[in-house]
Every structure is written in C-alpha cells, then in structure tokens.
Amino acid sequence: MRAYRIVACIFQRAITAAVSFGLLWIAAGGLLAASAHAKQRSAAAWRAQGTAELRLHRFDGAIAAFQHSLELQPDSPRVFYSMGVAYAGNHDPVRAFEWLERASATHRFDMTEITEEANFAALRADPRFAKLLPGAADFEHPFVEDVKIIREWRGEASGDQFGWIARKVGDVDGDGVTDIVVSAPTHGERGSKTGRVYVYSVGSGRLLWTADGRPGDELGTGVEGVGDTNGDGIPDVAASGPAGSGVAYIYSGRNGRVLHAFRSGRTDELFGNHISGAGDVDGDGNSDLIVGAPGKEGEAKTAGHAYIYSGRDGALHPGQPGAGLPARDRAGPAESTRLAAR
Ligand SMILES: [Ca+2]
Ligand SMILES: [Ca+2]
Ligand SMILES: [Ca+2]
C-alpha cells in the first residue's frame, strides 16, 4: 500500500512537472507578442518583434509586426528596409523593391546593407538592385538640414580616413582668417599607411602645405595647432603617429618645414597617440608641446607617459623621463634637428 502511494506520488509530480513545462513553453512562445502589448504597443516594441520574426524566417509575422510599427511611427527608414527584407524572404520581389526604394528615398539609411543581406540573394541580378546602392549624387547634399557649406575638402583616396581630425590652427597665411589642419592617418601608396596632414587656408580654400609620415607611421592620428613655437609670429602645427615606433613633429605653420622631430625608442608605449599644444610651459615666450604615450595593451610594465617638449629647442621639459640625459641617449633615429622620447 505504501509502495503504491509512493509510485502514485511520483506519477503525480511527473504530471505536474509536465504541465508546468508545457505552460512555460507556451509562455515562451508568446513572450515577444506579450512584450509588444506590454509596452503599450510602442513602435519600438513592434519593430523588435518584427526583427525577431525575421530572424526566425517567419516573414508574414514580421510584416504584420512592422505594419503595426509603421502605424505608430510612419517615417522609419529602418522599418521600410526591414519590410523589404521580409517581402524578399516571402519571394515577393515587387513589394520588396517598393519598400527598399522607399528606404533609399529617405537618404537616411545606409543602403550598402543590401549587399550583406542573405534574403536579397534572388534580387541581386535585378537592375533595380544596383540602383539602390548609393552613388555620387547621394553625397552632393549630405545634410538633412538646409545648410550652406562654406568650404568643403575631400580626401584623396578611399580608405585614407581623411577628416580623422580637423582643427583650427590660427592664421598661417596672414589673410586675417584662421586656418585649419586635417589629417588622413591611413593615407599612403599601396596601403603603406604613411599618413598625411593637410593645412588649408579657410579664407581662400587653398591647400597651403602637406606633410607625410614614413610607411607605417599613420601620421595624423594626432594633430593640433600648437601656437607659435619658433617665434616667427605664425602659429605652428604638431602631428603624431603611434602606429610604428611612435613619432611626433612640430611643423612651421608658415610652410610645413619640420622644426622638430621626436621618435620614441620604447616599444611598450603608443608614443604620439595624442598630441597637443601645452601653452608656454617654461615661460620663454614660445609655445610648447605635449605628447601622450599610453602603455600598449598587454604591456603591464608601463603606466604610460605624457611628455612636454620645449617649442623653442625641442628639449624635454625638466623632471620627465629622460630629461637631462644627453640627446644621444634619448634619441631614436630622429629625422630632424632634435631628440626623441626615451
Ligand atoms: Ca588664414
Ligand atoms: Ca611659427
Ligand atoms: Ca615655451
């Protein structure tokens, strides 16, 4: 009798567990739909549900969810695009292209995503597909707002990262208008990544001068105006590149001539990851330079450094690592007149 009760008890628990598991299963299945309702049918909740349905290849469910989203937020380029994906998944190219063209027409969606989307495999041969990709005309009016572009400068080649940094440097050509420096740290022939910095006259739009690093330097990772370091009355420019052994330069703002070059001998720091004018630190009337050198990832032995150099003679400011040592002990293969960081 007792044995019978134990068996009955185990049987009862098994049934209870099975029912509970079944309820959980049903609850999980309805979770996304419940979430959409729980969030007061917000557009974002419907959009999330549609995206989840897309991932499960339940294209009808995705279309229904996206339509709900559009009822609440009609102007969503992301949803236009997703509708295109859903209709493509449903083998309905006519509607897929309708929605994709709608997404493209907003000029607010990166249509290059179509090249990565597996559901568009069957659409790629269609002439309408290529037309969805951005062309030169799409970049003629890049702003949503109605703006007047006063000056525009373009990089030389794709992959240069022209515009990585753009800074005002003061008036270097004497026309009374402050000028700018722009960097392209991965510029270089055949992927050499020398990096290049460009100084432009804002008044005339002319390119005044450029400076290049050496292969692998990625010069222009850091670039700034530094004020007048050599006392000729014209503000100068500093640029750096940490990718190789680490370099930093001060250029004459007048013509781009190298006034000082600094090249690190350390392999555990990203010398030149950042660079800036420091103001006149030593009070000699000439602007000075500060170079940041954080420790490389995985190198536990250094906490990183910030080096201050005299703009007048390139000397390392007293009290810093290497200061007071003969130049030959601090310098790496400096290209120009002066020392490098230790
Ligand atoms: Ca100027
Ligand atoms: Ca100067
Ligand atoms: Ca100074």
How many whole angstroms from 327 Cα to the centroid of ligand 1? Answer: 36
Q: Which amino acid is at 113?
A: E
How many whole angstroms from 314 Cα to the centroid of ligand 3? Answer: 10
How do residues 263-310 score in pLDDT, each as one tens digit?
888 888 999 999 999 999 999 999 999 999 998 877 666 788 899 999
How many whole angstroms from 178 Cα to the centroid of ligand 2? Answer: 14
Average pLDDT, the chain: 85
Q: How confident is the model at residue 322 (pLDDT cuts 50, 70, 90)?
A: low
Residues 6+ apart with CB under 8 A from 240: 219, 221, 222, 223, 246, 247, 248, 249, 271, 272, 273, 274, 275, 291
Q: Which residues surround ligand 2, an ion (CB under 5 A)?
A: 228, 230, 232, 234, 236
Least confident of 65-79, 120-134, 316-330: 316-330
How many whole angstroms from 171 Cα to the centroid of ligand 1? Answer: 4
How many whole angstroms from 131 Cα to the centroid of ligand 1? Answer: 42
| CA pair distance 210, 245, nearest whole angstrom | 22
pLDDT of residue 139: 73
Per-residue pLDDT, averaged over 80-104, amounts to 97
How do residues 125-180 score in pLDDT, each as one tens digit?
999 999 999 887 777 777 778 888 899 999 999 889 999 999 999 999 999 999 99
pLDDT of residue 329: 41
| CA pair distance 54, 32, nearest whole angstrom | 13
Per-residue pLDDT, averaged over 321-340, amounts to 41
pLDDT of residue 284: 95
How do residues 198-238 score in pLDDT, each as one tens digit?
999 999 999 999 999 999 999 999 999 999 999 999 999 99
Q: Give the residue among 98, 68, 94 at the shortest CA–CA distance from 81.
A: 98
pLDDT of residue 108: 86
Ligand nearest to the CA of 314: 3
Q: Give the residue among 255, 250, 299 at the shortest CA–CA distance from 275.
A: 250
Q: Give the residue among 206, 279, 214, 201 at the shortest CA–CA distance from 249.
A: 214
Query: What 3-state DSSP class applies to 337?
Result: coil
pTM above 0.95? no
